[in-house]
């Protein structure tokens, strides 16, 4: 089983700031890495898949990069609606696995 | 717009079987994709339970495999989750979602296991 580790657990940032979230895989997942956003009381929403492909209707301020075992999600200018928990997930191997999440909170 | 809707009992007694249904609208399951179940205990992260293809091929989380069975009824456009011998640790929000990159999610259904 591939273990996904996200860091940091919590990020305190101000609106307008640039934010980078990290995700590490215990072994290579090639480019089969997705990111999700979850707001309180809502189901997660797919933001990015295949490392860097934005899902439908996802704003361009969200971008993903990386390969093999090291990945990042960048939000270029944090908006108020972006305060949420973000999860990475590998879709390279069964079993599918998620990272523990990074909470982006208002500073 | 593809829609998924989970349904099932909100309360299950410990040691009994949890049964959930995921109904899919505006997309025929027969057309493809894997369909997955994911759960989230209160205040915690996401845990993949398992996935099933339109043809019935299944993959399970090894930590749950002995207690979980997924099935599909393409005539009803529904996916099913059965989990046996539930305990309080199975109390969670249960979601169904499409594909290995979960591009569509249901709203989730909260299941509480009572001792």
Over chain A (107 residues), what is each successive 10-residue block's mean pLDDT? 97 96 98 98 98 97 97 97 97 97 95
Give me the total of CB pairs closer than 8 Å, taking one residue from chain A and one from chain B.
53
Question: How near does any CA of chain A get to the CA of B58, in Å?
Answer: 10
Cβ neighbour number for residue B24 with a 10 Å cutoff: 23
Select the residue of A43, A46, A87 nearest B101 (Cβ to Cβ).
A46
Question: How near does any CA of chain A get to the CA of B50, in Å?
Answer: 8
Select the residue of B102, B106, B108 nearest A46 (Cβ to Cβ).
B102
pLDDT value at position A55? Answer: 97
Select the residue of A34, A94, A100 nearest B101 (Cβ to Cβ).
A34
pLDDT value at position A8? Answer: 96
pLDDT value at position B26? Answer: 96
The verdict on A104 touching B (C-beta cutoff 8 Å) is: no
As beta bridge partners, residue B23 has B5, B78
Query: Residues with Cβ < 8 Å from A87, sequence gap 6 or more?
Result: A6, A35, A36, A38, A44, A98, A99, A100, A101, A102, B45, B46
pLDDT value at position B115? Answer: 86
Contact list in B for residue A7 (CB cut-off 8 A) is none
Q: What is the DSSP letter of B69?
A: E
Contact list in B for residue A34 (CB cut-off 8 A) is 101-102
Over chain B (115 residues), what is each successive 10-residue block's mean pLDDT? 96 98 96 95 98 94 98 95 98 97 97 95
Q: Closest Cα to residue A25, out of A105, A104, A107, A91? A: A91
């Amino acid at each position: 089983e591939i273990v996904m580790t996200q860091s940091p657990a919590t990020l305190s940032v101000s609106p307008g700031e640039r934010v980078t979230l990290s995700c590490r895989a215990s072994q290579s997942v090639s480019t089969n890495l997705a990111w999700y956003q979850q707001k309180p009381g809502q189901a997660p929403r797919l933001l990015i898949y295949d490392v860097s492909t934005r899902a439908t209707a996802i704003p361009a301020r969200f971008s993903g990069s990386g390969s093999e075992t090291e990945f990042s999600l960048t939000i270029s200018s944090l908006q108020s609606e972006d305060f949420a928990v973000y999860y990475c997930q590998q879709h390279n191997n069964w079993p599918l696995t998620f990272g523990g999440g990074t909470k982006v909170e208002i500073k | 717009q593809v829609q998924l809707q989970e349904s099932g009992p909100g309360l299950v007694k410990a040691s009994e079987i949890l049964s959930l249904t995921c109904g899919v609208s505006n997309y025929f399951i027969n057309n493809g994709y894997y369909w997955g179940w994911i759960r989230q205990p209160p205040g915690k992260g996401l845990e993949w339970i398992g996935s099933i293809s339109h043809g019935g091929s299944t993959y399970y989380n090894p930590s749950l495999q002995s207690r979980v069975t997924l099935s599909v009824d393409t005539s009803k456009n529904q996916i099913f989750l059965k989990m046996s011998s539930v305990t309080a640790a199975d109390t969670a929000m249960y979601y169904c979602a499409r594909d290995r990159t979960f591009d569509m999610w249901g709203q989730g259904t909260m299941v509480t296991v009572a001792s």
